[in-house]
Amino acid sequence: MNYRARLERIWDAMAKDGIAMTMFEDCEARRDTTIRWLTGQPGDALLFLSADRKSLLVPWDMIIAGKRATADEIVPYNDFDRIASKAIRAAAERFALPKGAKVELPSATPYPAFAAFASALEGFEPICREKGTADLTLSMRAVKDADEIAILRKATEITNEIIDMLIREAVAGRLNTEADAALLIELESRKRGCEGTGFETLSAGPARSFGIHAFPPWGAGPFATRGLSILDFGLCYEGYNTDITLTFARAPDPKQEEMLRLIEKAAAIAQGELLVGNRSAAVAAKIDEFFAGHGRRMAHGLGHGVGLDVHERPFLRNNPSADMELKSGMVVAVEPALYDPDLGGCRMENDFLITDSGPEMLTRSRVVRI
Amino acid sequence: MNYRARLERIWDAMAKDGIAMTMFEDCEARRDTTIRWLTGQPGDALLFLSADRKSLLVPWDMIIAGKRATADEIVPYNDFDRIASKAIRAAAERFALPKGAKVELPSATPYPAFAAFASALEGFEPICREKGTADLTLSMRAVKDADEIAILRKATEITNEIIDMLIREAVAGRLNTEADAALLIELESRKRGCEGTGFETLSAGPARSFGIHAFPPWGAGPFATRGLSILDFGLCYEGYNTDITLTFARAPDPKQEEMLRLIEKAAAIAQGELLVGNRSAAVAAKIDEFFAGHGRRMAHGLGHGVGLDVHERPFLRNNPSADMELKSGMVVAVEPALYDPDLGGCRMENDFLITDSGPEMLTRSRVVRI
């Protein structure tokens, strides 16, 4: 991975904003995969970047960091009693920041925690911005580089192999419980070298498919029996996530069939809108309008970017706060869906690479009529 | 569940602090199981409590809320475009709060988000405290009530059945890959009615057991072969989590055997300290001293409470910030461990109920020598 090229862009932005040091934090309460994006460290660490283009990684597990992470310096978090405010003070001193220098905290820093950092940073100027360095990196990450696209292609290839297996098993009558589907995904993904499923598989038979996110995610109950079953899963390969949803429809009644046709039509319309230059909110608005024209309302957004996070920019939501221009190199999951407390739910989700010559469909999930 | 009794205690505290309304938020970026503790809603919702003893739940998925949640009023988050600051304004108006009333935000509210809430709450006084209502509920939750203890007993019973199966299979030579162990847990837990595993199973064969949290968590590689293998898992039953770790030691060499004896001894010492009135930090300090006396250092805390969260209060950490007095009704996981980049790692973790007559060991994980 070309971590250095990514870091250079961040250092440039820091210089522009007059930031002497910025901090990233990945901890149990606040995950931040940007640390992996910048160093390879898969989690549980602090990362400090200084304006003079140095990086300092402070991981919880030094053994894992030693095997995976790249940084100018690596110091164990235990040296600071695993207290972030102690580590930030030490980092500022190690980088020999000038008095009064601007030190940026992660934008996810809880409001009451700011005071503890400010106190630890006496002599410096602590800042915490919504549109700060973290925000910039999230927007940078929305456009994948060649290394990332190669990994995502491999991740979607494996996802497609498993989609094909699932469909074959279901049609053959061997996918009879939610657990059958979930365990097949768990095992086959690991056999193919995946780090895991990127999120807990949602495997919901007809009695439970009404939930946007079925709860519990999966159980031992029937699957792919008469009616609508939803299977939403994603694989994580070298840190990068896929996210797809299959709907299995066994002998759907006319009302269920109507729902299925609507989401299939919505998926086709959405795909046609995944064009460089389009606005993400406008794509989502188009699908909301389509459903509204049929007297329906989708209870969630239309889609989202995928990458080191399962849900990342660009967000395809009919909401100005998340709006972004679509660019070549973005990878998005598109998931039109409808839910009914009595008829059950259906969702169809595929991942697309946006290119200058139009969207490339990377996955092949679909409504499977049995 | 006696949600009302829990709410009454919070309303009392709000009255004492002069808080007119408080907000809880459970969203993808910031999970808060307190909403489940107070309403039964398993996730993705806002909860507003008013000083005049009313509750307003604002869930993302109305169908799931309709089936599971208890609140005075339930209004879909979509009515506020899934924007928390819109919802809080509407809640303040719905509760007809007096002008200038104190409105409390979740203590996890990001620093930069405070301004948006403050602007939406014009005419009221927004506050966000580290030691606010959220902190109070986390301390309340550390001591389990009778309903919770009954659920945790059931959860640990199922955990023990699976521990026994895992040991039987390993000894019989049928647990040969990390996936064999992980998939057994996934399937058998669901067959017994669990909602799932509370966290991703850490199943690490001898080549990977050096990691505190093996990364990736599990794969298709060998397990329980010569050396030290770690299997750390937890089950979630009706929302409540267990957390245990087995170490499988096949033909350990003398250095590995020394590590095993040390963690077994540490576990015994720690158990003897789980007494009502002891301080959680002092228990952890005792074990740190024990390891130091043998020239070792444990890279993580000694243990933690378990409940709706896998990691919750009381934290058994040699650190004054997490210190609490141990009380009857607390349920804690205790996990002495040692890791070596060459020899591998070993960890032994069991869950205990603290009672006035001493600790009750709820689970039976151990070092399994093969």
- A196 neighbourhood in chain B, CB within 8 Å: 200, 216-218
Contact between chains at A60 and B212 (C-beta distance less than 8 A):
yes
Contact between chains at B186 and A190 (C-beta distance less than 8 A):
no
- A186 neighbourhood in chain B, CB within 8 Å: 179, 182-183, 186
- B321 neighbourhood in chain A, CB within 8 Å: 83
Mutant choice from B68, B190, B202, B302 vs A, greatest count of A C-beta within 10 A: B190
Whole-number pLDDT of residue B23 = 98
Contact between chains at B200 and A195 (C-beta distance less than 8 A):
no
Report the length, in residues, of chain B: 370
Report the length, in residues, of chain A: 370
| pLDDT 10s digits, A331-346 | 999 999 999 999 999 9
> For residue B213, is pLDDT > 90?
no
- A213 neighbourhood in chain B, CB within 8 Å: 43-44, 61
Q: How far is A195 from A33, CA to CA, in rounded Å?
A: 15
DSSP A240-290: EE--EEEEEEES--HHHHHHHHHHHHHHHHHHHH--TT-BHHHHHHHHHHH
**Residue A80 Cα distances to A86, A92, A229, B195, angstroms:** 6, 13, 50, 37
CA B367 vs. chain centroid, Å, equals 23
> What ipTM is given for this predicted complex?
0.92
Q: Where are the beta strands (DSSP E) in A72-127?
A: 73-74, 102-104, 125-127
Q: How far is A1 from A238, CA to CA, in rounded Å?
A: 11
Candidate from B110, B178, B183 with C-beta closest to A108: B110
Q: Which of B15, B299, B306, B322 is nearest to B148 (CA)?
A: B306
Tokens of A239: 């840190």
Contact between chains at B107 and A112 (C-beta distance less than 8 A):
yes
CB A346 within 8 A of CB A230: yes
Quote the Cα angle for A215-A219-A223, to 5°: 100
> For residue B153, is pLDDT > 90?
yes
**B286 phi and psi angles, rounded to 5 deg:** -60, -40
Whole-number pLDDT of residue B1 = 86
pLDDT in tens, chain A (370 residues): 899 999 999 999 999 999 999 999 999 999 999 999 999 999 999 999 999 999 999 999 998 899 999 999 999 999 998 999 999 999 999 999 999 999 999 999 999 999 999 999 999 999 999 999 999 999 999 999 999 999 999 999 999 999 999 999 999 999 999 999 999 999 999 999 999 999 999 999 999 999 888 999 999 999 999 999 999 999 999 999 999 999 999 999 999 999 999 999 999 999 999 999 999 999 999 999 999 999 999 989 999 999 999 999 999 999 898 899 999 999 999 999 999 999 999 999 999 999 999 999 999 999 999 9
Q: Which residue of A has its CA nearest to B76?
A: A299
Candidate from B111, B311, B321 with C-beta closest to A109: B111
| pLDDT 10s digits, A27-70 | 999 999 999 999 999 999 999 999 999 999 999 999 889 999 99
Contact between chains at B107 and A108 (C-beta distance less than 8 A):
no
Query: Would the pTM of this model clear 0.90, i.e. be above it?
Result: yes
Distance from CA of A208 to the nearest CA of B (A): 10
Candidate from A179, A216, A311 with C-beta closest to B187: A179
- A78 neighbourhood in chain B, CB within 8 Å: 297, 299
Q: Which residues 6+ apart lie within 8 Å of A340 measured at CB?
A: A210, A259
Quote the Cα angle for B78-A235-A61, to 5°: 100
Residue B21 β-bridge partners = B50, B103
> For residue B346, is pLDDT > 90?
yes
